[in-house]
Amino acid sequence: MKTQTGKRMRDTLLIPGLLAAALFASGVSWADDAKPARVRGAITAIEGDHLKVHSNRGEDVQVNLTPDTQVRGVTLAQVSDIKPGSYIGSAAVPMPDGTLKALEVHVFPPQMAGTGDGHRAFDLAKDSTMTNGSVGDLVTSEGRTITVNYKGGQKKILIPDDVPIVNLVPGDRSLLKPGVKIVLQAQKGADDTLTALSISAGENGVTPPM
Protein backbone atom coordinates (compact mmCIF):
# COMPACT_ATOMS: atom_id res chain seq x y z
CA MET A 1 0.00 0.00 0.00
CA LYS A 2 2.80 2.35 0.94
CA THR A 3 4.57 1.54 -2.36
CA GLN A 4 1.48 2.43 -4.41
CA THR A 5 1.00 5.63 -2.45
CA GLY A 6 4.62 6.58 -3.07
CA LYS A 7 4.27 5.82 -6.76
CA ARG A 8 1.17 8.00 -7.01
CA MET A 9 3.04 10.85 -5.30
CA ARG A 10 5.99 10.50 -7.71
CA ASP A 11 3.62 10.48 -10.68
CA THR A 12 1.83 13.54 -9.32
CA LEU A 13 5.13 15.40 -9.09
CA LEU A 14 6.46 14.08 -12.40
CA ILE A 15 3.48 14.87 -14.65
CA PRO A 16 3.50 18.66 -14.08
CA GLY A 17 7.24 18.67 -14.77
CA LEU A 18 6.74 16.81 -18.05
CA LEU A 19 3.91 19.15 -19.01
CA ALA A 20 6.05 22.18 -18.23
CA ALA A 21 8.90 20.78 -20.33
CA ALA A 22 6.52 20.07 -23.21
CA LEU A 23 5.07 23.57 -23.04
CA PHE A 24 8.54 25.08 -22.90
CA ALA A 25 9.60 23.10 -25.98
CA SER A 26 6.46 24.18 -27.78
CA GLY A 27 7.09 27.78 -26.76
CA VAL A 28 10.51 27.73 -28.39
CA SER A 29 8.95 26.38 -31.58
CA TRP A 30 6.24 29.00 -31.51
CA ALA A 31 8.85 31.71 -30.98
CA ASP A 32 10.78 30.50 -34.02
CA ASP A 33 7.62 30.34 -36.12
CA ALA A 34 6.63 33.83 -34.97
CA LYS A 35 9.89 35.41 -36.18
CA PRO A 36 9.02 37.96 -38.89
CA ALA A 37 9.91 37.10 -42.47
CA ARG A 38 11.84 39.65 -44.52
CA VAL A 39 11.03 40.20 -48.21
CA ARG A 40 13.17 42.29 -50.56
CA GLY A 41 12.03 43.07 -54.08
CA ALA A 42 9.86 45.28 -56.27
CA ILE A 43 6.13 45.91 -56.11
CA THR A 44 4.29 44.49 -59.13
CA ALA A 45 0.74 45.43 -58.11
CA ILE A 46 -1.34 46.79 -55.25
CA GLU A 47 -5.00 45.87 -55.00
CA GLY A 48 -6.74 47.26 -51.94
CA ASP A 49 -5.09 45.67 -48.92
CA HIS A 50 -3.05 43.22 -50.99
CA LEU A 51 0.49 43.94 -52.15
CA LYS A 52 2.14 41.82 -54.84
CA VAL A 53 5.94 41.69 -54.85
CA HIS A 54 8.50 40.06 -57.13
CA SER A 55 11.22 39.18 -54.66
CA ASN A 56 14.96 39.30 -55.23
CA ARG A 57 14.87 35.51 -55.00
CA GLY A 58 12.67 35.37 -58.09
CA GLU A 59 9.45 34.55 -56.22
CA ASP A 60 6.08 36.23 -56.66
CA VAL A 61 4.71 36.97 -53.21
CA GLN A 62 1.40 38.40 -52.00
CA VAL A 63 1.42 40.33 -48.74
CA ASN A 64 -1.59 41.59 -46.80
CA LEU A 65 -1.67 45.17 -45.51
CA THR A 66 -3.43 46.28 -42.34
CA PRO A 67 -4.09 49.68 -40.71
CA ASP A 68 -1.12 48.87 -38.42
CA THR A 69 1.35 48.32 -41.28
CA GLN A 70 4.07 50.98 -40.91
CA VAL A 71 5.28 52.56 -44.16
CA ARG A 72 8.42 54.66 -44.36
CA GLY A 73 10.28 56.18 -47.28
CA VAL A 74 13.92 55.60 -48.19
CA THR A 75 15.87 58.51 -49.70
CA LEU A 76 19.52 58.96 -50.66
CA ALA A 77 21.83 60.40 -48.00
CA GLN A 78 25.47 61.39 -47.66
CA VAL A 79 28.03 60.58 -45.01
CA SER A 80 27.67 64.22 -43.95
CA ASP A 81 24.14 63.33 -42.80
CA ILE A 82 25.71 61.15 -40.11
CA LYS A 83 26.72 63.22 -37.10
CA PRO A 84 27.56 62.48 -33.46
CA GLY A 85 24.23 61.77 -31.82
CA SER A 86 22.56 60.54 -35.03
CA TYR A 87 20.57 57.34 -34.60
CA ILE A 88 21.53 54.90 -37.34
CA GLY A 89 21.31 51.28 -38.37
CA SER A 90 23.97 49.40 -40.30
CA ALA A 91 24.13 45.95 -41.81
CA ALA A 92 27.77 44.90 -41.68
CA VAL A 93 30.22 42.01 -41.72
CA PRO A 94 33.06 41.43 -39.25
CA MET A 95 36.71 42.15 -40.08
CA PRO A 96 39.69 40.35 -38.48
CA ASP A 97 40.37 43.19 -36.03
CA GLY A 98 36.80 43.12 -34.70
CA THR A 99 35.71 46.25 -36.55
CA LEU A 100 32.57 45.86 -38.64
CA LYS A 101 32.58 46.75 -42.35
CA ALA A 102 29.28 48.33 -43.35
CA LEU A 103 27.23 46.89 -46.21
CA GLU A 104 24.79 49.79 -45.88
CA VAL A 105 23.88 52.55 -43.45
CA HIS A 106 20.43 53.98 -42.83
CA VAL A 107 19.82 57.13 -40.81
CA PHE A 108 16.67 57.28 -38.71
CA PRO A 109 14.69 60.49 -38.20
CA PRO A 110 14.84 61.84 -34.62
CA GLN A 111 11.32 60.58 -33.84
CA MET A 112 12.46 57.01 -34.58
CA ALA A 113 15.52 57.07 -32.31
CA GLY A 114 15.67 53.87 -30.30
CA THR A 115 14.14 51.71 -33.04
CA GLY A 116 15.62 48.20 -32.92
CA ASP A 117 18.37 49.26 -30.52
CA GLY A 118 21.08 46.61 -30.28
CA HIS A 119 23.34 44.27 -32.22
CA ARG A 120 22.06 41.05 -33.79
CA ALA A 121 22.45 38.59 -36.66
CA PHE A 122 21.03 39.75 -39.99
CA ASP A 123 20.31 38.11 -43.33
CA LEU A 124 21.74 40.56 -45.88
CA ALA A 125 24.93 38.55 -46.46
CA LYS A 126 26.88 35.64 -44.99
CA ASP A 127 27.81 36.35 -41.35
CA SER A 128 26.18 39.79 -41.54
CA THR A 129 24.83 41.61 -38.51
CA MET A 130 22.59 44.60 -37.87
CA THR A 131 23.60 47.27 -35.38
CA ASN A 132 21.18 50.03 -34.39
CA GLY A 133 22.32 52.75 -32.04
CA SER A 134 23.53 56.30 -31.52
CA VAL A 135 26.68 57.57 -33.21
CA GLY A 136 29.44 58.55 -30.82
CA ASP A 137 32.74 59.28 -32.55
CA LEU A 138 32.86 59.97 -36.30
CA VAL A 139 36.32 59.78 -37.88
CA THR A 140 36.83 60.67 -41.54
CA SER A 141 40.61 61.12 -41.69
CA GLU A 142 41.33 57.38 -41.95
CA GLY A 143 38.50 56.18 -44.11
CA ARG A 144 35.11 56.70 -42.50
CA THR A 145 34.72 55.02 -39.15
CA ILE A 146 31.87 55.53 -36.70
CA THR A 147 31.35 54.32 -33.17
CA VAL A 148 27.80 53.14 -32.54
CA ASN A 149 26.54 52.92 -28.97
CA TYR A 150 23.58 50.79 -28.01
CA LYS A 151 22.19 49.50 -24.76
CA GLY A 152 24.75 47.07 -23.39
CA GLY A 153 27.45 47.56 -25.98
CA GLN A 154 29.40 49.47 -28.60
CA LYS A 155 30.64 48.70 -32.13
CA LYS A 156 33.08 50.39 -34.49
CA ILE A 157 31.88 50.40 -38.08
CA LEU A 158 33.97 51.22 -41.16
CA ILE A 159 31.93 52.74 -44.01
CA PRO A 160 33.63 52.12 -47.39
CA ASP A 161 33.23 54.81 -50.05
CA ASP A 162 30.96 52.65 -52.22
CA VAL A 163 28.52 51.69 -49.44
CA PRO A 164 24.99 53.08 -49.87
CA ILE A 165 23.80 55.54 -47.22
CA VAL A 166 20.10 56.34 -47.00
CA ASN A 167 17.64 58.25 -44.85
CA LEU A 168 14.50 56.66 -43.45
CA VAL A 169 11.68 59.20 -43.58
CA PRO A 170 8.00 59.13 -42.58
CA GLY A 171 5.76 57.75 -45.32
CA ASP A 172 2.34 56.32 -46.11
CA ARG A 173 0.67 54.00 -48.59
CA SER A 174 0.97 56.54 -51.39
CA LEU A 175 4.59 55.36 -51.70
CA LEU A 176 3.46 51.82 -52.58
CA LYS A 177 3.26 51.71 -56.39
CA PRO A 178 4.22 49.18 -59.07
CA GLY A 179 7.95 49.32 -59.77
CA VAL A 180 8.89 50.70 -56.34
CA LYS A 181 11.71 48.76 -54.62
CA ILE A 182 10.92 47.74 -51.05
CA VAL A 183 12.12 45.84 -48.01
CA LEU A 184 9.33 44.58 -45.78
CA GLN A 185 8.92 42.58 -42.61
CA ALA A 186 5.89 40.33 -42.45
CA GLN A 187 4.29 37.92 -40.02
CA LYS A 188 3.57 34.48 -41.45
CA GLY A 189 0.19 33.02 -40.51
CA ALA A 190 -0.72 29.40 -39.87
CA ASP A 191 -1.92 29.19 -43.49
CA ASP A 192 1.41 30.68 -44.73
CA THR A 193 -0.18 34.04 -45.61
CA LEU A 194 2.07 37.05 -45.04
CA THR A 195 0.89 40.19 -43.26
CA ALA A 196 3.17 43.22 -43.49
CA LEU A 197 4.38 44.70 -40.20
CA SER A 198 6.56 47.40 -41.78
CA ILE A 199 7.57 48.45 -45.29
CA SER A 200 10.55 50.58 -46.33
CA ALA A 201 9.86 51.91 -49.83
CA GLY A 202 12.44 53.58 -52.05
CA GLU A 203 11.57 57.08 -53.25
CA ASN A 204 12.57 58.39 -56.69
CA GLY A 205 13.99 55.06 -57.82
CA VAL A 206 16.05 54.37 -54.68
CA THR A 207 16.60 50.71 -53.81
CA PRO A 208 16.48 50.19 -50.03
CA PRO A 209 19.90 48.64 -49.31
CA MET A 210 19.14 47.03 -45.96
* Domain containing residue 198: 37-202
The pLDDT value given to residue 15: 35
pLDDT (0 to 100) of residue 175: 98
- Please check whether residue 192 lies inside any domain of the structure: yes
pLDDT value at residue 45: 98
Work out how many domains the chain is built from and give that number: 2
Give residue-wise pLDDT tens across range 91-112.
999 999 999 999 999 999 999 9
Is 73 inside any structural domain?
A: yes
Q: Is residue 208 part of a domain?
A: no
C-alpha distances (whole Å) from 50 to each of 28, 45, 62, 183 are: 31, 8, 7, 16
Q: Are residues 121 and 24 in the same domain?
A: no
One domain, residues 96 and 70: yes
Same domain, 28 and 45: no
pTM: 0.79
Say if residue 197 is in the same domain as residue 160.
yes
CA dihedral 61, 46, 184, 208 (to 10 degrees): 110
Residue 85 lies in a domain: yes
Q: Is the pLDDT of residue 121 over 80?
A: yes
Amino acid 34: pLDDT? 64
Please report the beta strands in the chain, taking only residues with DSSP state E, as ranges in sequence order: 37-47, 50-55, 60-64, 70-76, 87-94, 100-107, 118-121, 129-139, 145-150, 153-158, 165-170, 181-188, 194-202
Q: 22 and 99: one domain?
A: no
| Closest by Cα among 55, 57, 50, 60 to 182 | 55
Q: Are residues 74 and 101 both part of a single domain? A: yes
Same domain, 66 and 130: yes
Average pLDDT, the chain: 85
Residues 94 and 143 in one domain: yes
Strand partners, 183: 40, 200
Coil vs helix vs strand at 67: coil
